[in-house]
Structure 1
Amino acid sequence: MIRLDSISKQNGQQLLFIEASAALQKGERIGLVGPNGAGKSTLFRMITGRDEPDEGQVLVDRGISIGFFSQDVGEMSGRSAVSEVMDGAGNVSEVAAELQELEAALADPDRADEMEQILERFGEVQARFEELGGYALESKAREVLDGLGFSQEMMDGDVGALSGGWKMRVALARILLMRPDVMLLDEPSNHLDLESLIWLEQFLTGYDGALLMTSHDREFMNRIINKVIEIDGGTLTSFAGDYEFYEAQRAMNEQQQQAQFERQQAMLAKEIKFIERFKARASHAAQVQSRVKKLEKIDRVEPPRRRQTVTFDFPPAPRSGDDVVNLRGVHKRYGSKVIYDGLDLLVRRRERCCVLGVNGAGKSTLLKLVTGTTTPDEGSVAVGGSVKMGYFAQHAMELLDPERSVFQSLEDTFPQAGQGSLRALAGCFGFSGDDVEKKCRVLSGGEKARLVMARMLYDPPNFLVLDEPTNHLDMATKEMLITALAGYEGTMLFVSHDRHFLAALSNRVLELTTEGIHQYDGGYTEYVARTGHEAPGLHG
C-alpha cells in the first residue's frame, strides 16, 4: 500500500536516511522504533506528503485513505467534541453537510419551484449518507470518545475549553472514527490513562487496515504490532514479530556481528603480520603482493553500533522510621464533588505502593495530600520520623527556570557538588556533551522530565512520591529509571499508566473506588491475576 523506495533525507547537518527502503502492506501493524531524533516524525511527514525525500520516492497506492495522528493537534474551538470528531470522518461529514443544506432548502418557500430537483437530490444524498453509515456516525463518535475517557458533558461541551491532553484525545478519536485504509499514529499512547490505553489497544487489535505507529509504551506496542521497522543510522530494517521478538532478534544480530567482526579482525591481523614479516624478502614478493591485493578486496565487517545505555545508581538514602505516612479520617472535596470521605491509609517503610483508579477517583489528590501540596478538609496527614520526601509532579516541569541551562539548574540545586559528578549525573539522564548547555526553555517535555528527575534523585530522598513519572520518557530512559528504582532502598507511592513500570516496581496496590480504598498485597502483576482486569474501570 505504501512503499519507501531508496529514500535519502538530510536535515541540516544530520543525515536521517541514506537510500532506505521499506513497505507497509494491508493488514500489517508496524511499530516504528529508533533512538530520539532518528527521523520517525520525518518519515510520517514524508508519507503524508508534508515533507519530501531529497532522493528516492514515497509511493502510495491510488485511492487509499490515510489518517495521521501527531502530537501537534492545532487549534480546536467553537464546536462540541462530538462534532469535531464527526468532522474527521472523511466523505460522510461532507455528505452530512449537504444533507443539512437540502433539508433547509426543502423548508424554504422561496425555492418552491425547484422542489422536484431538490427532492430528487435529497433522495440521492440520503441514500449515500445511509450507505456510509451516517446515521450511526454520532453514536459511533460517542462510543469512541467514551472509550477514550470522555464524559457526556465533555462530549457536548466546547472543545476549545479542553486542556491540551484532552484535545489530543479528540484528534485521536477523529482518526479512529474515520477508520482509514492506513493509520499513522505518532505516540498515540501519550496523555492516556490506563483505562483509555487498554480500550485503544482493543480497538486497534480489531482494526483491519494497515497501521504504522510509534509509542514509548512497550506493553502497548507489544500487544498490537506484528512487525517492527527500526530506523538506525540512516537505514530502515524490518523484523517480523512483536516488540519482544524484535528486541531478542536485535540482540542476537548484534552478537553475531560482533563475533564476525572479531573473527575478521583476527584474520586481518594475521595477514598483516605475514605481510610485515616477509615484505622485504624477494623470495616472498609474489605471495606478499597477492595477500595485499586480497586485503584490499575484503568487505570489512563493521562492529555493531553501540547503543548508549545509561545507568544511574542511587546513592543509599538515609533510613526513615517504619511508619512513613499516616492518613486518618481524611475528608476532601472540590466544590460539590466529594473525593475522600473518611480515608484511612498507612504507608510503611520499603513499601512501593502504586495507586490505581478511574479518572477523577482522586489519584493525584492522594499524592498532593501526602506531600502537603493540598490540605484535608478534615482529618490528619502525619509524615513519619526521619522521612525525606521527593515529589515528582506534572507541574514540576513548569517550575524550571527557563533562562538557566541544564547544567546551571543542577548546579543551583547542588552548589556543593563537583563539576565532574554533576556532568556524570547529567549524562545518566541523557544530557551528554553540549546538551548540558541547553536552556530550559528549549527543552522538550521528555528532557524537562529527565532534568527534574536528575535533580530529585541525586541526593536521594527515602520517600519518593511520583505522579506519572514516565509520561514523556522514551523507552531507553524508562528502562534506566526502572533499573535504578528497582535497586532503591526507600519507600515509593506512585501513579503510572505504564504497565511495564507498574509491574516492575510495585509491591502493593491501592485501588481507589467510590466505596473507599481497596488494598492488595503483592504488586501489579498479582493484582491483575487476582481481579482479572488490568485497570479498575475494566471488569472481566
Structure 2
Amino acid sequence: MIRLDNISKQNGQQLLFIEASASLQKGEKIGLVGPNGAGKSTLFRMITAQEVPDEGQVLVDRGISVGFFSQDVGEMSGRSAVAEVMDGAGDVSTVAAELAELEAALADPDRMDEMESLIERFGEVQGRFEDLGGYALEGKAREVLAGLSFSQEMMDGDVSNLSGGWKMRVALARILLMRPDVMLLDEPSNHLDLESLIWLEQFLTGYEGALMLTSHDREFMNRIINKVIEIDGGGLTSFSGDYEFYEQQRAMNEAQQQAQFERQQAMLAKEIKFIERFKARASHAAQVQSRVKKLDKIERVEPPKRRQAVSFEFAPAPRSGEDVVNLKGVHKRYGQRVIYEGLDLLVRRRERCAVLGVNGAGKSTLLKLVTGSTEPDEGSVTLGGSVRMGYFAQHAMELLEGNQTVFEALESSFPRANQGSLRSLAGCFGFSGDEVEKRCRVLSGGEKARLVMAKMLYDPPNFLVLDEPTNHLDMATKEMLIAALAQYEGTMLFVSHDRHFLAALSNRVLELTPEGIHQYGGGYTEYVARTGQEAPGLRS
C-alpha cells in the first residue's frame, strides 16, 4: 500500500534517513519507534506529501485513502464537536452543512416569501443526506466521541470552548470516523484518560485497515501492533511481532553483534601480535605479508549502537512521621457540582497510592486539596510530622523562568551542587550535550515536564504528589523514572493513565466513585485482578 524506497532526508545539519527502505502492507499494524528527534514525525509528513525526501521516493498505491493525526490540530471554532468530527467524512459533511443552513432559513420569519423554494431544496438535500448515510454517520460520530470521554454537552457545544487536549481528541475522532484505508497516528495516546485509552485500543484492534502509529505508552503499543519499524542511525529496520518481541529481538541482535565483535577483536589482536613480533625477521617475511593482506580484506564487525540509557542515583528522602496526610469530613464543590461530601482519607508512610476515577470524579481536586492548592469548603486536611512535599502538576511547567537555560534552572535551584552532578541529572532526564543550553521558553511540553521532574527529584521530598507525571515522556525517560521511583523510600500519591507506570509503582489504589472512595490494597495489578477491569469507567 505504501512503500519507502531508498529515501534520504536531511534537516539542517542532521541526517535523518540514508537510503532507507520500508513498507506498509494491507492488514499491518506498525509501531514506529526510535529516539526523540530520529525522524518519526518527518516520516509521517513524507508519506502524506507535506515534505519530500531529498533522494528516493515515497510510493502510495492509487486510490488509497490516508488519514493522518498529528499533535498540531490547527484552528477549530464556530461549530459543534460533532460537526467538526463529521467534517472529515467527505461529501456528507458538505451536505450536512447545507442542511443545517436550510433548517435555520426555514425557521427565519424574514424569509417567509422564499418558503416554497426552501422546502423544495430542503427535500432534495435531505434525500441526498440520507443516501450518503448522514443520519447514521452522526450516530457514529457521537459513538466515537463518547468513546473518547465526551459528554453530550461537550459534543454539542462550540468546539472553540474546548482546551487543547480536548481539541486533539476531536481531531483524532475525525480520523477514526473517516476509517480510511491507512491510518497514520502520531502520539494518539497523549492527552487521553485511562478509559479513553482502553476504548481507542479496542477500536484500533478491530480496525481492518493498515495502521502506523507512534506512542510512548508501551502497553498501548504492545496490544495493537503486529510489526515494528525502528528508525536508528538513518536506517529503517523491520521486526515482525509486537513491541515486547521487538525489545527481545533487539536485545538478542545486540548480544550477537557484541559477541561477533569481541571474537573478531580477539582474532585481530592475535594476528597483529604475530605481525609485530615477526615483521623484522626475513625468514617470516612471506607469512607476515600474507597475514597483512588477509587483515586488509576482513570486513570489520562494528560494535552494536547502544541506546544512551542514563541512570542517576537519587539522594534518599528524609523520613516522615507514620501519618503523612489526613483528610477528615472534607466537602468540596464547584458551583452546583458536588465533588466530595464528607470525605475521610488517611495516607500512611511508604504507601504509593494510585488515584483512579472517571473524568470529573475529582482526581486532580484530591491532589490539590492534599497539596493546599485548593481549600476544602468544610472539613480539614492535615499533613503529618516532618512531611516535606513535592507536587508535580501540569501548571508547574508554566513557572519555569523563560530566559534561563536548562542548566541555569537546575543551578539556581541547587546552587551548592557540583556541575558534574547537575550535568548527570540533566542527561538522565534527556538533556545531553548542548541541550542544557536551551532556554526554557523554547522547550517543548515534554522537555519542560522533564526539567520540572529533575528539579523535584534531585533533592527528593518524602511525600511526592504527582498529577500525570508521564505525559510527554518518551519510553526511555519513563523507564528511568520508574526505576528511580521504585527505589524511592518516601510516600506517593499519584494520578496516571499509563498502566505500566501504575502497575510498577502502586501498592494501594484509591478508586473515586460517586458513593465515595473504594480502597484496594496491593496496587494496580491486584485492582485489575479483583475488579476484572483496567479502569473504573469500564465496569458494567
Which residue of structure 1 lines up, in the alignment, with residue 256 of structure 2? Answer: 256
Letter in 2 for 1:230: E
Deviations 1:360-386 (A, max 9, x none): 100000000001111100000010000
Shift of 1:429: 1.5
Contact between 1:99 and 1:122, CA under 8 Å: does it hold in 2?
no
**Which residue matches 2:229?**
229
Query: Which residue does the alignment assign to 1:362?
Result: 362
Specify the code of the residue in structure 1 equivalent to 2:278.
Answer: F
Q: 1:510 to 1:100 in 2, by over 3 A?
A: closer
Gaps of 5+ in 1: none
2:531 is aligned to 531
**After superposition, where does 1:82-481 map in structure 2 within 5 Å?**
82-97=82-97, 122=124, 126=127, 129-130=129-130, 132-481=132-481
Q: CA deviation at 1:105?
A: 12
Cα distance change, pair 115–426 in 1 and its aligned pair in 2 (3 A): closer
Cα distance change of structure 1 residues 280 and 392 upon mapping to structure 2, 3 Å threshold: same
> Residue in 1 aligned with 2:74?
74
1:191 to partner: Cα distance: 0.3
Give the Cα separation in 1 of the matches to 2:256 and 2:132: 53
CA contact (8 A) 1:30 1:229 kept: yes
Per-residue deviation, residues 90-145 of structure 1 (Å, max 9, x unmatched): 243245457778999999988999999x89x949x946x55543220001000101
Shift of 1:435: 1.3
What's the CA shift for 1:310?
Answer: 1.3
In structure 2, the CA distance between the partners of 1:512 and 1:295, relative to structure 1 (3 Å rule), is: same
1:399-458 CA distance string (max 9 Å, x none): 101011111111111122222222222122121221111110011111111110111111
Answer yes or no: is 1:484 the counterpart of 2:489. Answer: no
Q: How far does residue 280 in structure 1 lie from its aligned partner after superposition?
A: 2.8
Contact 2:329–2:342, Cα closer than 8 Å, also in 1: yes
Distance in 2 (alpha carbons) for counterparts of 1:114 and 1:335: 44
Bigger mean CA offset, 88-97 vs 325-334: 88-97
Query: How big is each residue's C-alpha offset from its partner over 1:461-489, in whole Å with a ceiling of 9 and x where there is no partner?
Result: 00000000000100000000000000110
CA distance in 1, matches of 2:459, 2:279: 61
Give secondary structure in 2 for the equivalent of 1:53.
Answer: coil
Q: What is the TM-score when the length of structure 1 is the normalising length?
A: 0.95
Q: Name the CA distance, whole Å, in 2 between partners of 1:91 and 1:206.
A: 25
Residues of 1 paired with 2:340 and 2:104: CA distance? 51
- Separation in 1 of the partners of 2:457 and 2:528? 30
Moved more, 187-196 or 90-99: 90-99
Question: How far, CA to CA, are the matches of 1:220 and 1:403 in structure 2?
Answer: 37
Q: Superposition pairs for residues 11-90 of structure 1, below 5 Å? A: 11-90=11-90
Q: Give the direction of change, closer, same or farther, for the CA distance of 1:437–1:296 in structure 2 (3 Å limit).
A: same
- 1:383 and 1:288, CA in 2 relative to 1: closer, same or farther beyond 3 A? same
Change (3 A) 1:108 1:62: farther
Letter of the aligned partner of 2:213 in structure 1?
Answer: M
Q: Post-superposition shift, 1:227? A: 0.5
The alpha-carbon distance between structure 1 residues 342 and 235, as it changes in their structure 2 partners (threshold 3 A), is same
SS in 2 for 1:43: helix
1:45 match: secondary structure: helix
Q: Distance in 2 between matches of 1:103 and 1:57?
A: 48
Deviates more, 1:292-301 or 1:451-460: 292-301
> Does the Cα contact within 8 Å between 2:352 and 2:505 map onto a contact in 1?
yes
- Relative to structure 2, which stretch is displaced further, 405-414 or 345-354? 405-414
Paired residues for 1:486-501 under 5 Å: 486-501=486-501
Contact kept, 8 Å, 2:312 with 2:424, in 1: the verdict is no
Structure 1 residues 282 and 335, CA, compared in 2 at 3 Å: closer, same or farther?
same
Following the alignment from structure 2 to structure 1, what is the Cα–Cα distance between the partners of residues 477 and 498?
13
Deviation digits for residues 170-219 of structure 1, max 9, x if unmatched?
00000000000000000000000000000100110110000000000000
Gaps of 5+ in 2: none
Alpha-carbon contact 2:105-2:118 (below 8 Å) kept: no
C-alpha spacing 1:114/1:464, structure 2 compared with 1 (3 Å): closer
Compute the displacement of 1:290 (Å): 2.6
On the 8 A contact 1:99/1:126 being kept in 2, the answer is no
**Equivalent residues of 2:397, 2:452 under 8 A apart:** yes
Distance 2:60 2:89 in 1: 21
**Amino acid in structure 1 at the alignment position of 2:518:** H
SS across alignment from 1:308: coil
Deviation at residue 251 of structure 1 after TM alignment? 0.3
SS at match of 2:219: helix
Q: Quick one: structure 1 residues 530 and 47, their matched pair in 2 at CA, closer, same or farther if it must change by over 3 Å? A: same
Given residue 277 of structure 1, which amino acid in structure 2 is its aligned partner? R
Give the SS at the match of 2:341.
strand
**Inter-partner Cα distance in structure 2 for 1:172 and 1:142:** 13
Summarize the Cα distance change of 1:97–1:324 in structure 2 as closer, same or farther, 3 Å threshold.
closer
Alpha-carbon distance between aligned partners in 1 of 2:219 and 2:350, rounded to the nearest angstrom: 26
Q: Which amino acid aligns with 1:417?
A: A
CA RMSD of superposed structures (Å): 2.3
Cα distance change, pair 111–360 in 1 and its aligned pair in 2 (3 A): closer
Change (3 A) 1:91 1:191: same
Cα–Cα, structure 1 residues 253 and 337, in superposed 2: closer, same or farther, change >3 Å? same
SS at match of 1:385: coil
- Contact kept, 8 Å, 1:6 with 1:21, in 2: the verdict is yes
Deviation track 1:143-169 (CA, whole Å, cap 9, x = no partner) reads 101110111111111101110000000
Query: Offset of 1:293 from its aligned partner?
Result: 2.1
TM-superposed deviation, 1:282: 3.2
Tell me, in whole angstroms, the C-alpha distance in 1 between the residues paired with 2:468 and 2:205.
Answer: 26
List per-residue Cα deviations over 1:245-285 (Å, max 9, x = no partner). 00011000000000000111111112222222233333333
CA distance in 1, matches of 2:343, 2:117: 72
For residues 488-535 of structure 1, the C-alpha deviation after alignment (integer angstroms, 9 at most, x for no partner) is 100000000000000000000000000000001110000000001110
**Alignment CA distance shift 1:416-1:206 (3 Å):** same
For 1:295 and 1:242, the matched residues in 2 are separated by: 41
Task: Sort the Cα spacing of 1:321 and 1:8 in 2 relative to 1 into closer, same or farther, 3 A.
Answer: same
SS in 1 for 2:511: strand
